């Protein structure tokens, strides 16, 4: 029985802008277990990014309770959230967000700088090796292709050995071949036990997940477990 | 996060924009260099002035005709002619019953005239003094002798030459016994001084000394002194002697209270204090201007750091997303502005010290006794000021960076 990693209880999120309140999320209940590969899907403005930000400790809910590994994290300070992000979470963004004119090695080690511990070179090398970029280790970020950049971002997400990896439209800026590679790496990581939460609006990308949560107008409209066959079926369609 | 990492990140960020970093630094370099130069030139000028005053000897009291504010310069210095100091005053001061601690008292007059010997002619300055001049100014003739008080009172036409006058007039010939003409009046040279240099802002070597009676009656046609000087036997008697002089002169001039005195009495210490007050005021005034340039430099830093924060918003967002806490981001930007000001400060010290040395060399070349003072204090002060400027003007941009919301920062275009 896999243990429960995330439990959301009636989470809501309001944005207040010039006294106009915009309700982005309403009463979200969600459980995610360790080792799951969850895709959150929805059209733009549906609230999927906001949900990911709350799940990823980048934002705080307006109401409701967020239990992470059984602990209430809904009301932590900014610095406490930063610490959880550092130790527990790896992020992969659509726009890669690598440091410009900085080597692959220095980009990957970045989260390690904020652990408060000494740099562990071996772990950095291991993370770079796991995305197959050891030969590019001294290249600067601007000398890499899009797919390579995203692989560096994944290595960076892995370097502190987090339990959770968030991928926000990870293939959005990539050609289909590189996108496929990235998704295979994520799948592989999931197979090795990492919990992955993917935000996307592409059906194909979502099809790599084992569970698809659809969200619209701030509420979850469906939550389905995906059979292995779905990916195979979609790949067949694509090759046609 | 190790502090070394912060420095490395800051260094990378700063070296990525080298010319911008240098231009930002320039404000601090100029500011710090001006502070160093002003402090050093101020101290040099002060040393020049104090050396000049001290070279007169510390036991001297000067009496100027005309009243003056105690803290200000005597009126005679401002070019006001005042005839209140006469020969009787000098005699009264020399009386041991009136001023018991006076070791010597003399009066001064001065004039400019054509001085000739055979066919040689120079524009000379003659000084009419009394016989105790060598005691008052610690000056001894190198050859010949000074005149006596009897010779003075009998209107003798004797002259003692400063070394430069001797050289210009006699070209190495022995002047003793020769007749020279001052304002067409014949004088016999009875002695000359060795090189004495500048004392009390006056080059002593360009002067011709003659008896004061002779100067007043034959050359100037007056019966008053432009200054009296009293040498006090011991330094601790200076205050007492100043008081004795004032009482004596008030009596001489029938003045019943000190408010109405028509003379000013100054010790060398007073003169020193007046000059120090003036030069201090000047020094602080200039230092304040230099400090303003530092503030301007600081504003420049704040400006550039704000630009840097907005340029690097996404980077800050990423760092926060991967776990950088507020104070880490804040420290990183603070370190950047401190690096700018610290390096700017060090460069400013080097530039400032170089200029100070050049100025001192030029001043010495021109013959002034100029102390080169680039004090450790001014270097410490300049370094601390630059670090403080970096901190003060860096803190606002750094706070702005630290407060950025990671989500907004990540999506910043």
- Domain locations along chain A: 36-60+76-239
Q: Across the interface, do A82 and B16 touch by the CB < 8 Å criterion?
A: no
**pLDDT band of A229, cuts 50, 70, 90:** very low
Residues in A closer than 8 angstroms to B2, CB to CB, are: 113, 118
Q: Does one domain contain both B133 and B183?
A: yes
In a domain, B72, yes or no: no
Q: Please check whether residue A91 touches B, CB under 8 A.
A: yes
Sequence-distant (6+) residues with CB within 8 A of B107 are B85, B87, B90, B128, B129, B130, B212, B225, B227, B228, B229
Distance of alpha carbon A114 from alpha carbon A4, whole angstroms: 27
Q: Chain A: nearest CA to B301, how far in angstroms?
A: 23
ipTM for this model: 0.90
Residues in A closer than 8 angstroms to B408, CB to CB, are: none
A23 pLDDT more than 70? yes
Per the listing, tokens 């003075």 go with B152
Q: Considering B261, B288, B311, which residue would you say is the last residue of a domain? A: B261
Residues in A closer than 8 angstroms to B12, CB to CB, are: 102
* Mutation site for A-interface testing, chosen from B323, B335, B407, B410 by largest number of A Cβ within 10 Å: B323
In a domain, B61, yes or no: no
Q: Does one domain contain both B45 and B112?
A: no
Report percent pLDDT > 90 for chain A. 64
Q: What's the Rg (C-alpha) of chain B?
A: 32
A19 pLDDT more than 90? no
Q: Does one domain contain both B192 and B339?
A: no
Residues in B closer than 8 angstroms to A59, CB to CB, are: 407
* Mutation site for A-interface testing, chosen from B1, B12, B322, B409 by largest number of A Cβ within 10 Å: B322
pLDDT top residue among A229 and A151: A151
Distance of alpha carbon A110 from alpha carbon A96, whole angstroms: 14
What are the pLDDT digits (tens) for A140-191? 999 999 999 999 999 999 999 999 999 999 998 889 889 999 999 999 999 9
Tell me which residues of chain A, numbers 116 to 155, contact chain B at a CB-CB cutoff of 8 Å.
Answer: 116, 118
Q: Across the interface, do A114 and B322 touch by the CB < 8 Å criterion?
A: yes
Longest dimension (CA), chain B: 103
Residues in B closer than 8 angstroms to A76, CB to CB, are: none
A129 pLDDT more than 50? yes
Q: Across the interface, do A85 and B323 touch by the CB < 8 Å criterion?
A: yes
Q: Chain A: nearest CA to B3, how far in angstroms?
A: 10
Structure token digits, residue B389: 């400027």
Q: Which residues share a beta bridge with B211?
A: B129
Q: Does one domain contain both B289 and B374?
A: yes
How many other C-beta atoms lie within 10 A of the C-beta of residue B408?
10
A232 pLDDT more than 60? no
Alpha-carbon distance values, B343 to A66, A195, B5, B347 (Å): 48, 48, 18, 6
Cα B177–chain centre separation: 41
Question: A36-60+76-239 has which fold?
Answer: Rossmann fold (3.40.50)
Cα torsion angle, A111, A116, A117, A119, sign: positive
Q: Chain B: nearest CA to A59, how far in angstroms?
A: 8
Q: Does one domain contain both B160 and B288?
A: no
The pLDDT value recorded for residue B285 is 86
Per the listing, tokens 């030029």 go with B362
**What chain B residue is nearest to A50 in terms of C-alpha separation?**
B407
Distance of alpha carbon B213 from alpha carbon B211, whole angstroms: 6
Nearest 10 degrees: Cα torsion B191, B194, B200, B206: 70
Mean pLDDT of all residues belonging to chain A: 89
Q: Considering B240, B261, B282, which residue would you say is the last residue of a domain? A: B261
Q: Are B345 and B384 in contact (CB under 8 A)?
A: no
Q: If you average pLDDT over residues A71-83, what whole number do you get?
A: 92
* Mutation site for B-interface testing, chosen from A58, A60, A115, A121 by largest number of B Cβ within 10 Å: A58
Q: Which uninterrupted H or E stretch holds A197?
A: strand A195-200
Q: What crossing angle do the helices spanning A146-158 and A104-113 adopt, rounded to 10°? A: 30
Q: Across the interface, do A86 and B323 touch by the CB < 8 Å criterion?
A: yes
Structure token digits, residue B39: 């402090």
Distance of alpha carbon B216 from alpha carbon B194, whole angstroms: 26
A24 pLDDT more than 80? yes
Q: Does one domain contain both B281 and B222?
A: no
Q: Please check whether residue B407 touches A, CB under 8 A.
A: yes
Distance of alpha carbon B361 from alpha carbon B263, whole angstroms: 41
Q: Across the interface, do A113 and B410 touch by the CB < 8 Å criterion?
A: no
Q: Does one domain contain both B292 and B338?
A: yes
Q: Does one domain contain both B166 and B280?
A: no
Q: Can you count the helices (H) and strands (E) in chain A?
A: 8, 10
How many other C-beta atoms lie within 10 A of the C-beta of residue A46?
21
How many other C-beta atoms lie within 10 A of the C-beta of residue B261?
17
In a domain, B35, yes or no: yes
Tell me which residues of chain A, numbers 35 to 64, contact chain B at a CB-CB cutoff of 8 Å.
Answer: 53, 58-59
The pLDDT value recorded for residue A1 is 59
Residues in B closer than 8 angstroms to A97, CB to CB, are: 314, 317-318, 321, 410
Q: Please check whether residue B3 touches A, CB under 8 A.
A: no
Question: What pLDDT tens digit does each residue of chain B (413 aa) get?
Answer: 667 788 888 888 888 888 989 998 998 899 889 888 888 888 888 888 887 777 777 788 999 888 776 666 666 666 667 788 899 999 999 998 999 999 999 999 999 999 999 888 999 899 999 999 999 988 889 999 999 999 999 999 999 999 999 999 998 889 999 999 998 899 999 999 998 887 777 888 999 999 999 999 999 999 999 999 999 988 889 889 999 999 999 999 998 888 888 888 888 888 788 888 888 888 888 878 888 888 888 888 899 999 989 988 989 999 999 999 999 999 999 999 999 999 999 999 999 999 999 999 998 888 777 888 777 888 888 888 888 888 899 999 999 999 988 888 887 76
Sequence-distant (6+) residues with CB within 8 A of B109 are B127, B128, B212, B215, B216, B220, B222, B225, B226
Q: Across the interface, do B323 and A82 touch by the CB < 8 Å criterion?
A: yes
Nearest 10 degrees: Cα torsion A126, A130, A134, A137: -70
Q: Considering B216, B235, B261, which residue would you say is the last residue of a domain? A: B261
Per the listing, tokens 């502190």 go with A160
- The domain of B113 spans 83-261
* Mutation site for A-interface testing, chosen from B2, B320, B321, B403 by largest number of A Cβ within 10 Å: B321
Q: Please check whether residue B17 touches A, CB under 8 A.
A: no
Q: Chain B: nearest CA to A10, how far in angstroms?
A: 22
Q: Which residues share a beta bridge with A198?
A: A39, A167
Structure token digits, residue A149: 């950049």
Question: In the 3-class helix/strand/coil scheme, how is B271-307 assigned residue by residue?
Answer: HHHHHHHHHHHHHHHHHHHHHHHHHHHHHHHHHHHHH
Q: Please check whether residue B16 touches A, CB under 8 A.
A: yes
Q: Does one domain contain both B306 and B327?
A: yes
Distance of alpha carbon B358 from alpha carbon B388, whole angstroms: 29
- Strand duo A219-225 + B202-203: pairing: unpaired
Q: Does one domain contain both B207 and B312?
A: no
Q: How many domains does chain B have?
A: 2
């Amino acid at each position: 029985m896999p243990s429960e990693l995330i439990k959301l209880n009636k989470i809501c999120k309001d944005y207040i802008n010039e006294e106009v309140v915009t309700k982005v999320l309403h009463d979200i209940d969600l459980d995610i277990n360790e080792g799951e590969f969850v895709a959150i899907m929805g059209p733009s403005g549906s609230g999927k990014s906001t949900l990911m930000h709350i799940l990823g400790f980048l934002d705080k809910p307006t109401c409701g309770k967020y239990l992470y590994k059984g602990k209430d994290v809904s009301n932590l300070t900014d610095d406490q959230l930063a610490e959880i992000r550092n130790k527990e979470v790896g992020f992969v963004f659509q726009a890669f967000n690598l440091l410009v004119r900085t080597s692959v090695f220095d980009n990957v080690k970045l989260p390690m700088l904020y652990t408060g511990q000494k740099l562990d070179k071996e772990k950095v090398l291991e993370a770079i090796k796991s995305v197959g970029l050891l030969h590019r280790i001294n290249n600067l970020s601007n000398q890499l292709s899009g797919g390579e950049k995203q692989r560096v971002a994944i290595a960076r997400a892995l370097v502190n050995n987090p339990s959770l990896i968030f991928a926000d439209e990870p293939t959005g800026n990539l050609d289909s071949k590189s996108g496929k590679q990235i998704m295979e790496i994520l799948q592989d990581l999931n197979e090795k036990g990492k919990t992955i939460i993917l935000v996307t609006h592409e059906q194909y990308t979502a099809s790599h997940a084992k569970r698809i949560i659809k969200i619209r107008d701030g509420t979850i409209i469906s939550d389905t477990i995906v059979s292995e066959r779905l990916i195979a079926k979609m790949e067949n369609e694509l090759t046609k | 996060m190790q502090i070394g990492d912060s420095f490395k990140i800051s260094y990378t960020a700063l070296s990525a924009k080298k010319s911008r970093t240098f231009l930002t630094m320039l404000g601090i370099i100029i500011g710090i260099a001006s502070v160093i130069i002003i402090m050093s030139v101020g101290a040099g000028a002060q040393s020049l002035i104090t050396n000049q005053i001290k070279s007169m000897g510390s036991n001297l009291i000067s009496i100027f005709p005309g009243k003056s504010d105690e803290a200000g310069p005597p009126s005679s210095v401002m070019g006001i002619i005042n005839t209140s100091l006469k020969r009787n005053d000098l005699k009264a001061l020399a009386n041991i019953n009136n001023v018991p601690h006076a070791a010597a008292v003399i009066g001064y007059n001065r004039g400019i005239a054509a001085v000739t010997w055979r066919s040689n002619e120079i524009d000379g300055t003659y000084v009419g003094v009394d016989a105790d001049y060598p005691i008052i100014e610690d000056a001894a003739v190198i050859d010949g002798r000074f005149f006596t008080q009897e010779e003075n009172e009998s209107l003798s036409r004797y002259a003692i030459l400063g070394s430069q006058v001797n050289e210009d007039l006699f070209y190495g010939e022995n002047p003793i016994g020769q007749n020279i003409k001052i304002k067409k009046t014949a004088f016999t040279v009875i002695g000359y001084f060795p090189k004495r240099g500048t004392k009390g802002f006056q080059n002593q070597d360009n002067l011709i000394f003659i008896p004061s009676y002779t100067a007043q009656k034959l050359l100037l046609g007056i019966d008053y002194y432009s200054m009296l000087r009293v040498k006090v036997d011991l330094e601790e008697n200076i205050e007492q002697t100043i008081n004795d002089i004032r009482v004596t002169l008030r009596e001489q001039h029938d003045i019943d209270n000190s408010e109405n005195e028509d003379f000013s009495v100054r010790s060398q210490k007073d003169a020193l204090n007046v000059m120090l007050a003036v030069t201090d005021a000047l020094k602080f005034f200039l230092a304040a201007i230099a400090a303003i340039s530092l503030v301007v430099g600081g504003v420049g830093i704040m400006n550039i750091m704000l630009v840097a924060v907005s340029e690097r918003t996404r980077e800050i967002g990423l760092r926060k997303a991967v776990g950088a806490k507020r104070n880490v981001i804040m420290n990183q930007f603070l370190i950047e502005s401190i690096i700018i000001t610290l390096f700017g400060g060090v460069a400013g010290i080097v530039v400032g010290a170089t200029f100070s040395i050049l100025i001192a060399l030029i001043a010495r070349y021109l013959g002034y006794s100029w102390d080169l003072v680039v004090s450790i204090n001014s270097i410490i002060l300049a370094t601390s000021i630059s670090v403080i400027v970096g901190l003060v003007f860096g803190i606002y941009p750094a706070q702005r960076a630290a407060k950025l919301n990671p989500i907004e920062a990540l999506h910043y275009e």
